[in-house]
């Protein structure tokens, strides 16, 4: 028996509406994979509907994008979770596995990556996806995506593995970042980290910038094909990331974790 979000039994109308949402997402993602535009008109045509009929289910293009984004984020998170699952209790390996799985997913799902992660939707979240303010649909999945990486990072902090930078030795831009974080929605997370909170958040942002930046370059083909195929650029930036976190002595093991994830994806 299917239930609504408030625990009530779904009516036949509720079930049919939910099935239609699922079909909208499936059709939209199929269009993207074929290299076509996932517009309201295109999706409606594929479903045998008129655009006006489709708008009974999505109030705006932003709503449509949020539906697609939520499905894509769920796939990405599942892919990363499966890669990280063999390394329970080892946050360093989980970070290496998850980052590699994210890259591999992007290279194999270029159209969906570009739509969701490359800022081609109206509005952006901190992690590269559409902002929730742009849609009347409650969740687009970007918060769960951000929370996934934040969870691994918090586990690294809890394990005492991260080398926290000394804020007295950084430039003015770092101090501006720290001040802005104190006023941001990250305040709860920063507070939970104690006096090291702002510095840890700085490391988190640097790590994300490296990972997101190199994957964007590779997915868009903005670096030499040989570098993408070999993974050389990605591995160099991964190593720099782990060094910035204070984990350079563990690199050979983490490199092997990353390579194992990439090899499994190639064979699947």
Q: Classify residue 128 as left (phi > 0), alpha (psi -120 to 50) or beta.
A: left
Angle between helices 197-219 and 232-244 (to 10 degrees): 180
Longest pairwise C-alpha distance within the chain: 63
C-alpha 16/C-alpha 78 separation (Å) is 26
pLDDT tens track for 234-253: 999 999 999 988 887 789 99
At 157, is the secondary structure helix, strand, or coil? helix
- At 9 the three-state DSSP class reads strand
In sequence order, the 6+-apart residues with CB closer than 8 A to the CB of 176 are none
CB 93 within 8 A of CB 261: no
pTM given for the model: 0.83
The three-state secondary structure class of 222 is coil
Exposure string (b/e) for 153-186, b if CB count within 10 Å is 16 or more? bbbbbeeeebebbeeeeeeeeeeebbeebeeeeb
Q: Are 176 and 167 in contact (CB under 8 A)?
A: no
Contact 162, 200 (CB under 8 A): yes
The predicted-structure confidence for 20-77, as pLDDT tens digits, reads as follows 999 999 999 999 999 898 999 999 999 999 999 999 999 888 889 889 999 999 999 9
Structural domains of the chain in order of their starting residue, each with its CATH number? 58-267 (1.10.357.10)
Q: Which pLDDT tens digit goes with each residue over 107-133? A: 999 999 988 887 544 333 333 444 444
Q: Is 27 helix (H, G, I), strand (E, B) or coil?
A: helix
């Amino acid at each position: 028996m299917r239930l609504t979000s408030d625990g009530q039994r779904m009516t036949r109308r509720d079930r049919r509406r939910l099935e239609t949402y699922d079909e909208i997402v499936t059709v939209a993602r199929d269009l993207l994979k074929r290299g076509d535009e996932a517009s309201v008109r295109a999706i409606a045509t594929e479903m045998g509907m008129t655009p006006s009929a489709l708008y009974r289910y999505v109030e705006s293009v932003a709503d449509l994008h949020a539906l697609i984004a939520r499905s894509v984020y769920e796939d990405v998170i599942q892919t990363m979770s499966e890669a990280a699952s063999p390394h329970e209790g080892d946050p360093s390996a989980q970070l290496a596995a998850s980052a590699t799985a994210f890259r591999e997913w992007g290279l194999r799902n270029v159209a969906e990556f570009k739509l969701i992660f490359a800022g081609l939707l109206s509005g952006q979240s901190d992690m590269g996806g559409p902002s929730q303010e742009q849609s009347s649909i409650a969740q687009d999945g970007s918060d769960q995506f951000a929370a996934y990486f934040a969870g691994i990072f918090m586990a690294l902090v809890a394990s005492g593995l991260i080398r926290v930078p000394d804020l007295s030795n950084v430039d003015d831009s770092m101090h501006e970042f720290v001040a802005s974080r104190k006023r941001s929605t990250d305040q709860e997370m920063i507070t939970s980290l104690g006096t090291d909170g702002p510095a840890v958040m700085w490391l988190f942002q640097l790590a994300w910038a490296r990972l997101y930046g190199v994957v964007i370059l590779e997915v868009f083909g903005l670096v030499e094909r040989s570098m993408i195929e070999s993974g050389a650029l990605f591995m160099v930036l991964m190593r720099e990331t782990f060094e910035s976190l204070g984990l350079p002595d563990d690199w050979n093991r983490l490199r092997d974790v990353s390579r194992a994830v990439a090899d499994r994806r190639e064979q699947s």
